[in-house]
A and B are shown apart, each in its own frame.
Chain A
Amino acid sequence: MPDVAVIFGGPSPEHDVSVLTGLQAARGLAGAPGPTIRALFWSKTGEWFDVDPTLEAEAFMEGVPKGAARLQLMATPDGGFAEPGGRLGKTRTLDIEAALVCCHGGPGEDGTLQAALDLAGIRYSGPTVYGAALGMDKLAFGAVVSSAGLPTLPRVLLTAQGDPPPFDGPYIVKPRFGGSSIGIDVVEDAATARARLEANPHLRLGAVVEPYRPDLTDLQVAVRSWPELRLSAIERPIRASGGADILDYRDKYVAGEGMAGATRELPAQIPPELEKELRHAAETVAGLTGLRGVARIDFLSDGRQFVVNEVNTIPGSLARYLWVEPAVPLVTLLHDLLEEARRRPTHAYSASGADGTVLRSAGSIAGKLG
């Protein structure tokens, strides 16, 4: 009987959180009858390992845990995850019917891993290449949401030379690509914002800038797509007391066991009209991003109005803590994700039309160059 894989880790700033999500998921699946669970660990340096799914987080503190077996990911139609180094240099491909992707940030959540899995013929949970890439690009996401008529804060590309932002400071500077709040900075003016481009390593691939609105608080809702579109309760995460300007990485993850340990108001106490609007907006965003799996949509609100802030296409702990009304057990959540992985294709490569006509009439290549 083929196995189910849980994929976690990866070369990402959120590597450690992903390990937590992955181990929780592996533990959740192991608790229910079903196929054998394989834990596939993606190291910070991009290597793949088959590890014991019952390991504790501690085992990953120093890197690859003891007893891990090295794997290769072969992106060919008969490929997949293979154990190298058998006798006579033969490799043995793992028989995996579906993979639960638990990677956060970086190539595990931006479409890179998804593309490799598509090419390797592995069915997986969560966003497709396109959904993942759109969710990771804050500039593109903001533009898509805004063009669909949903409220957003103005969000522009921050450049070293170009025009200053068409709105007043203080500003919030964010990495254009990046899954969590790592690398986010609040600055007073455009000059400081530009200086951050040089100084902040997380902004090297591009940065976006928005007006900083300390009067707005976060509201979050999870959405999932299988068996049909469903929304969770709305949550208001509580920021750590003290001078923290924004909900930062530490507040989100380090304080507790994934997001499940963070402090929050759940469900958030908000006016019914606002809740209705938020739910409608969340459904629209789900459609715009081609929702697959479970995503968390983050809003900012002053208690009456709201703006769409961002989407997390593979949220921490797979947002399991948000499914309270009605409660969805973790194992149901995981089984639905796997069922969607099996039943709903992520890609449909087509070669129709490439029937040789062009090649026949092409003549010589040299002729084309001449």
Chain B
Amino acid sequence: MTNFVPTLGALTGLPWGPALLGPSRLHHGVAWVTVVAAVLACGPAGLRWLRVAQREHYLAGSASRFASRWWRVTPANGALAAVMVVALGLSVWWPLAGVVAAAAVAAGPIGLTLKGRTSPLAWTRRLRTLALVWAALEVVVVAAGVVLGPAAPVAVLAAVAVPVLVDLACLVTSPVERRLGTRFVDEASTRLARVHPTVVAVTGSYGKTSTKGHIAHLVRPTRTVVATPASFNNRAGLARAVNEHLADDTEVFVAEMGTYGPGEIAELCGWCPPDIAVITAIGPVHLERFGSEDRIVEAKSEILVAAHDVVLQVDDPRLAAVADRAAAQGKRVLRCSAVDRLADVCVERSADDASVSVYLDGTVVSGDVTVPTGTQPTNLACAIAVALVLGVPPGRVGQRLADLPSVDHRLQAARSGSGVAILDDTYNSNPAGAAEALEALRLEAPHPIDPAAAGSPRSRPRRAVVTPGMVELGSRQFAENRAFGSAIAAAADHLVVVGRTNRRALLAGVAAATPSLDVIRVNHRDQAVTWVREHLGPGDAVLYENDLPDHYP
């Protein structure tokens, strides 16, 4: 290494490379100190951003996106980021300043932990590959700085840019990962051909998992049915579901198909062609990856191409249009609704929300069936339509409706030991679901019509909402969360804002609303739970709307 220092000295003539300027050996020493500090800082930074990349399904760009979010989220992080950038700039002239930048890289952003509390880093084969490629990229950048100069600022830049290099590593490894995944897809394709089940494919911006569960429940006693587990809805997940769950006697395979972008569902349908295709709903979910809702409709419609039977929720006019097009192509179309009794399947909620009635072609077949809170009538209507296409007799469908299980963390109602009604809607959140959840909260803790009759305002049941807000809404994220904040102000007495991801938007919504409410700010859900325990009592109700893993600010 000592041989290297004079070589570097020879490079001092480079115009923007004065870091190693000057004849003194001290300067060379300082440059090396900075390079070493920068490389050391890459350790913790790498762990942080590799974890974010893993949580975000290795999609290139997510580490940088989260980095820009994290570095701006609190004044402290903003200040730290400013120090980091200024020190990086200064290191061009004073290499030692780079040590400060490296320290900032190692320490921040504050709040994003190294190992993760809710979702720790898992050293899977894929992550190890990614880490190796990322480390190689870091070495290349640092070595380039050392060879071409200036060593110190380039090394510091490499440390500051860890999220960018992690993204680059995701980009580089993705074709290789795809090819590795192909083996499992081929295996799955062979297995599907051998078992040859009727494939029901379910997609939609939301309601996929609930609808899948409803279908499995309604069909189970009549046909052997296998549904993809919880969130196995991408290429790798679907292949794994087929390879590990599709037992030989499976007659019906219910596959959930998710999409982060155009063409993805078409690819899934290429090797797992659906016989029956279902679209549950369209909404602004993953909008940041699609651009517009029209493109979401287009991407979801890829599921219909191969199917001969199509089940669509037509309360959304865009899906009603899709239904008409599919019918014109000669497909059998079942239109499902929560409002139009003349639809092929209509599931209508009773006025008091406690039960549903099922109409087939305008005729009631099951009246006033009690279903779990949080059951979406349109999801249920789609599931009933699928069951009917699969040959489950309508009478049998009615019997099964009576013991429909609730879906985990989808507006699940419970009561705490202290008598607080709890609504758990933490699976995920979207504008339609959040509005629904607030309505359920109102019903859970009804306020007397005449406030005077209830005595002091303290004695009436209180309603609290605990939420980090909604995410993945692209350019609409702020507006949607602001609107949600206003809606909460109209529906509840307390709002506990978890984390900082949507805090500003939610508070803006609260401020814009006329009935103001008590706002509590906490950093983690645990703190929110503690607040609920301490402040709510018998008769009160709390809605937990959405939960974000801790790689969100």
Contact = CB atoms under 8 A, between A and B. Distances in A.
Contacts of B246: 44-45
B245 A201 contact: no
Nearest to A61: B229
B223 A63 contact: no
A36 interface: no
B203 to A, nearest CB: 20
Interface in B237-278: 240-241, 243-249, 251
Contacts of B251: 201
Contacts of A192: none
A45 B229 contact: no
Residue among A11, A63, A200 with max Cβ neighbours from chain B (10 Å): A63
B124 interface: yes
23 contacts: A11-B247, A11-B248, A43-B244, A44-B245, A44-B246, A45-B191, A45-B243, A45-B246, A45-B247, A45-B248, A47-B244, A61-B229, A62-B229, A62-B240, A63-B240, A63-B244, A64-B244, A199-B221, A199-B393, A200-B222, A201-B221, A201-B224, A204-B249
Closest 6 CB pairs between A and B? A63-B244, A201-B224, A11-B247, A44-B247, A62-B229, A64-B244
A202 B220 CA distance: 10
A46 interface: yes
A199 B396 contact: yes
Interface residues of A, number: 16
A64 B248 CA distance: 17
B286 to A, nearest CB: 23
Residue among A44, A45, A66 with max Cβ neighbours from chain B (10 Å): A45
B232 interface: yes
B250 to A, nearest CB: 9
Given A45-B191, A199-B396, A62 B248 contact: no
Contacts of A11: 247-248
Contacts of A43: 244
A113 to B, nearest CB: 15
Given A45-B246, A199-B222, A201-B223, A66 B124 contact: yes
Nearest to B251: A201
Contacts of B247: 11, 44-45
Interface string B433-475: 0000000000000000000000000000000000000000000
B354 interface: no
Nearest to B243: A45
Interface of A: 11, 43-47, 61-64, 66, 199-202, 204
B230 interface: yes
A46 B248 contact: yes
Nearest to B392: A199
Contacts of A199: 221-222, 393, 396
A201 B240 contact: no
Contacts of A66: 122, 124
Contacts of B243: 45, 47
Given A45-B247, A63-B229, 6 more contacts: A45-B191, A45-B243, A45-B248, A61-B229, A62-B240, A199-B221
Contact of B221 (A44, A47, A62, A200): A200
A99 B241 CA distance: 29
A171 B147 CA distance: 87
Contacts of B124: 66
A338 to B, nearest CB: 29
Contact of B249 (A47, A64, A200, A201): A201
A201 B244 contact: no
Interface string B213-241: 00000000111100001101000000011
A159 to B, nearest CB: 20
A206 to B, nearest CB: 14
A1 B251 CA distance: 45
A62 B232 contact: yes
Interface of B is mostly: loop
B244 A45 contact: yes
Interface residues of B, number: 22
A45 B245 contact: yes
Nearest to A204: B249
Nearest to A62: B229
A105 B224 CA distance: 16
Nearest to A185: B221
Contacts of B232: 62
A45 B244 CA distance: 6
Residue among A62, A63, A64, A199 with max Cβ neighbours from chain B (10 Å): A62
A64 B240 CA distance: 9
A245 to B, nearest CB: 14
A201 B229 CA distance: 21
A64 B229 CA distance: 12
Contacts of B393: 199
Contacts of B230: 62
A85 to B, nearest CB: 12
Interface string B389-406: 000010010000000000
A63 B184 CA distance: 14
Interface in B396-429: 396
A169 to B, nearest CB: 19
Interface string B32-53: 0000000000000000000000
A201 B248 contact: no
A156 to B, nearest CB: 23
Contacts of B241: 63
A318 to B, nearest CB: 24
A199 B220 CA distance: 10
A66 B122 CA distance: 11
A311 B221 CA distance: 25
A201 B191 contact: no
A62 B244 CA distance: 9
Residue among B122, B191, B247, B248 with max Cβ neighbours from chain A (10 Å): B247
A317 B363 CA distance: 50
A47 B232 CA distance: 20
Contacts of A45: 191, 243-248
Contacts of B191: 45
Contacts of B396: 199
A63 B244 CA distance: 6
Contacts of A63: 229, 240-241, 244-245
Contacts of B224: 201-202
B387 to A, nearest CB: 13
B298 to A, nearest CB: 31
A204 B245 CA distance: 20
Contacts of B245: 44-45, 63
A62 B240 CA distance: 9
A302 to B, nearest CB: 30
Nearest to A198: B222
Nearest to B393: A199
Nearest to B244: A63
Contacts of B122: 66
Interface in B53-89: none
